[in-house]
Amino acid sequence: MSSRPVLAQRLLAHWCVLAGCVAAMAGVAQASSVQVEVLDTAGKPLADAIVFLESADARRLTKPLPGVEMAQEKRQFVPSVMVVPVGSEVLFPNRDTVRHHVYSFSPTKKFELKLYTGTPSKPVLFDQAGVVLLGCNIHDQMIGWILVVDTPYFAKSPSGTGKALLDNVAPGAYKLRTWHARLPVGAAALEQAITVPATGMATASVRMAGLQP
């Protein structure tokens, strides 16, 4: 029997293994991270800032986020600041013993959940990008914000470090935008250019000026 067929099979097997490795390496090469340090004007870490990356490709990758809730607990919105992609539906469960009347007059999303307890049967659909300021018609101290973004790449800066991490970002050129609830109402998110490499991590630092007390 000729050894040529056996040799050909072995070469084919080796080629398939090599091709699989190359494909796997290519997949890994597409997974990058972006770390954004958000500071106030004094250079101190700023918590609860929303950072997000915008581009035409990112817009096409945007998908609704399932199972999102903004609760009412101890007469406060929890969390008080939230970010969701366009098309996400948000439930507003009332976990207090008193009734709440949640509303927003923001152009991005106007809605009203009249006096209720428990969890409303229907979530609220946030179908366009922008800032939504929430209130309660019964408790004036209750204020919350939902930032609706047209991108899958977003994060909120933690307390302590102020460093927000965005994982699994496709390489390319983006607008890095940073928003905080203490910006004046109607103020645009800060913007700067950033390039995300095919591998490794991109870093950026943002100092937010003009924040209200």
How much of the chain, in percent, has pLDDT values that exceed 90?
A: 83
Look at residues 204, 200, 206 and name the one whose alpha carbon lies nearest to residue 33: 200
Instruction: Indicate whether 21 pLDDT > 50.
Output: no
Instruction: Indicate whether 44 pLDDT > 50.
Output: yes
> From the CB of residue 143, how many other CB atoms can be counted at a distance below 10 Å?
14
Task: Specify the pLDDT at position 51.
Answer: 98
For 26-43, what is each residue's pLDDT tens digit? 444 477 999 999 999 999
Cβ–Cβ under 8 Å, residues 198 and 208 = no
Backbone angles phi, psi at 108, to 5 degrees: -60, -40
Give burial (CB, 10 Å; 0-12/13-18/19+) of 119: middle
pLDDT band of residue 121 (cuts 50, 70, 90) is: confident
Backbone angles phi, psi at 6, to 5 degrees: -65, -45
Cβ–Cβ under 8 Å, residues 38 and 190 = no
* Alpha-carbon span 4 to 36, nearest angstrom: 57
pLDDT band of residue 185 (cuts 50, 70, 90) is: confident
For 51-103, what is each residue's pLDDT tens digit? 999 999 999 999 999 999 999 999 999 999 999 999 999 999 999 999 999 99
Instruction: Indicate whether 15 pLDDT > 50.
Output: no
* Alpha-carbon span 190 to 204, nearest angstrom: 13
213 or 68, which is more confident? 68
pLDDT band of residue 213 (cuts 50, 70, 90) is: confident
Give burial (CB, 10 Å; 0-12/13-18/19+) of 137: middle
Instruction: Indicate whether 203 pLDDT > 70.
Output: yes
Q: Strand, helix or coil at 37?
A: strand
165 or 15, which is more confident? 165
Which residues neighbour 180 within 8 Å (Cβ) at sequence distance 6 or greater?
A: 38, 46, 48, 49, 50, 208, 211
pLDDT band of residue 8 (cuts 50, 70, 90) is: very low
